Amino acid sequence: MSKDFTWSTGSEIAAAVAAGETTALAVTEAALAVIAARNPTLNAFTAVTAERARAKAKAVDASPDKTKLPLAGVPFAVKNLFDIEGLATVAGSKINRAHAPAKRDAELIERMEKAGAVLVGALNMGEYAYDFTGENVHDGPSRNPHDITRMTGGSSGGSGGAVGGGLVPIALGSDTNGSIRVPSSLCGIFGLKPTYGRLTRARSFPFVGSLDHLGPFARSVRDLSVSYDVMQGYDADDAGCADRPKESASPFLTRGLDGLRVAVAGGYFRKGASPEALSALDGVAKALNARAVEIPEAHRARAAAYVITATEGAALHLERLRKQANDFDPAVRDRLIAGAMVPSTLVVKAQIFRRWYRDQVLALFKDCDVILAPSTPVTAPKLGQQTFMLDGVEMPVRPNMGLYTQPISFIGLPVVAVPVALKPLPIGLQIIAAPWREEVALRVAFALEQMGAVSAPRPNL
């Protein structure tokens, strides 16, 4: 291989493979070597599917027309709640290790591989995705590639670490309350949480059915867009998947900002934000000439998301709590047991509020196309750190990293998380669009990337 592709984007790799400048097998071997070298430090991978990857890479190399494969030879990995044929889907837990091996890959893995991508393994995550830290009591913490004494954010911690650390150019994760956007922020990479119902969740382990989304992480907006495009399409095997036609975003990326109206969220989304978060937000808002907008009752939306998460999550795990309570991460167990005890009237109230709030926020999009907000209140906390100061108040880290992400996923809005390469640690912003308008958020992200306002910084590893 004549070139080091380990910090290349997926699009660059696919172009090089299609042009015959390298092979899918050579790229795969290079990725496996980087994983072997860096994973002992970053703890991003919980399984490496080397033989499967080599076989898939050889099949890509044997394809008669690789220009028809938009992800030809691009290594990728998935949060370990995605089914991978032959492996138990552990979802960050000890309990699920006793599950039978999956008989078939998750639908999104199949769609990525159909486009030429090469699965190289499964990634660390917080237990059952009830987490914003990336720490895991069973597998050890995912470590931040920009400072290995710090958190990746969670729950898709391994996804953040693997992409931010150059182990793979693209990873897949899940986002119930912020689990794509929080690690994207702390690890300095791009992430896409599509509209609720856009990407199928078939053959992935759930957490909160009415809030769960799947989506990609990458180091470039084009990679997010290309992987998102190949994963779209209705799937009857996911009850929440919307029956909509595929709406490719990639053709819109280069259309620029002309005609787009950008707003920046104030009030709740500034309260508690660190100087770093505000500096990143204000810099990008200025570059986009954004006007201030107030998202009404965002604190109540966050509260309602919290209640629905605790109770739906508890319902999912009720039998496991009854029979295997000692096998849970104690922090997850105690949150879930508490969730099981919340009166149902209060849950219905949260769902009623959800409808009202959705209508209020959708009305804002009559006057703007995207809304900017911070992804996290702070840059990456230290591993094991229990509390941080937000607006002069000491708050627990684990539930509060998602302060700014929860009110958005609560109503399923599409968000592109973009990294601002602050020193010494990056921090992310959310570019929020109206439902089914992923292409608008991606277009703004691409313009910011072209301007140099957002980028994935390369760590010293």
For the record, the structure tokens of 184 come out as 């994207």
Beta strand 190-193 with 262-265 is unpaired
Q: Which of 1, 98, 239, 451 binds other proteins (CB under 8 A)?
A: 239
Query: How big is the CA angle at 385 (ends 178 and 397), to the nearest 5 degrees?
Result: 35
Question: Stretches 61-69, 271-279, 328-336, 361-369: which one binds other proteins (CB under 8 A)?
Answer: 328-336
Instruction: Output 271 or 299, the one with its CB closest to other proteins.
Output: 299
Q: Compose the 18-57 pattern: x for residues touching other proteins by CB under 8 A, - for all others.
A: ----------------------------------------
Binding of residue 304 to other proteins (CB under 8 A): yes
Choosing from 156, 159, 179, 185, which is the catalytic residue? Answer: 179
CB of 130 to other proteins, least distance (A): 11
The answer to whether 186 and 156 have CB atoms below 8 angstroms apart is no
Peptide bond into 279 cis (omega under 30): no
Q: What is the rounded distance in angstroms from the CA atom of residue 418 to the CA atom of residue 283?
A: 13
Q: Which of 353, 388, 404, 446 binds other proteins (CB under 8 A)?
A: 353
Binding of residue 321 to other proteins (CB under 8 A): yes
Question: Stretches 98-106, 274-282, 350-358, 417-425: which one binds other proteins (CB under 8 A)?
Answer: 350-358
Contacts of 270 (CB under 8 A, 6+ apart): 278, 281
Q: Which of 352, 362, 363, 393 binds other proteins (CB under 8 A)?
A: 352
Q: Hey, which residues between 122 and 141 contact other proteins (CB under 8 A)?
A: none
Q: Which of 29, 147, 282, 297 binds other proteins (CB under 8 A)?
A: 297
For the record, the structure tokens of 84 come out as 């991978």
Has 142 been annotated as catalytic?
A: no
Q: What is the rounded distance in angstroms from the CA atom of residue 34 to the CA atom of residue 121?
A: 13
Binding of residue 348 to other proteins (CB under 8 A): yes
Q: Is 268 exposed, middle or buried (0-12, 13-18, 19+ CB in 10 A)?
A: buried
Binding of residue 358 to other proteins (CB under 8 A): yes
Has 56 been annotated as catalytic?
A: no
For the record, the structure tokens of 232 come out as 């779209």
Binding of residue 423 to other proteins (CB under 8 A): no
Choosing from 79, 159, 174, 274, which is the catalytic residue? Answer: 79
Choosing from 155, 156, 225, 375, which is the catalytic residue? Answer: 155
Contacts of 55 (CB under 8 A, 6+ apart): none
Binding of residue 399 to other proteins (CB under 8 A): yes
Instruction: Output 322 or 423, the one with its CB closest to other proteins.
Output: 322
Q: Which of 240, 421, 422, 458 binds other proteins (CB under 8 A)?
A: 240
CB of 242 to other proteins, least distance (A): 9
Instruction: Output 228 or 353, the one with its CB closest to other proteins.
Output: 353
Q: Which of 337, 364, 390, 422 binds other proteins (CB under 8 A)?
A: 337
Q: Compose the 427-456 pattern: x for residues touching other proteins by CB under 8 A, - for all others.
A: ------------------------------
Q: Which of 234, 252, 356, 436 binds other proteins (CB under 8 A)?
A: 356
For the record, the structure tokens of 72 come out as 């030809």
Has 156 been annotated as catalytic?
A: no
Binding of residue 109 to other proteins (CB under 8 A): no
List contacts with other proteins (CB under 8 A): 209-210, 239-240, 297, 299-300, 302-304, 306-307, 310, 318, 321-322, 325, 330-331, 333-335, 337-342, 345-356, 358, 399, 411
**Catalytic (active-site) positions:** 79, 155, 179
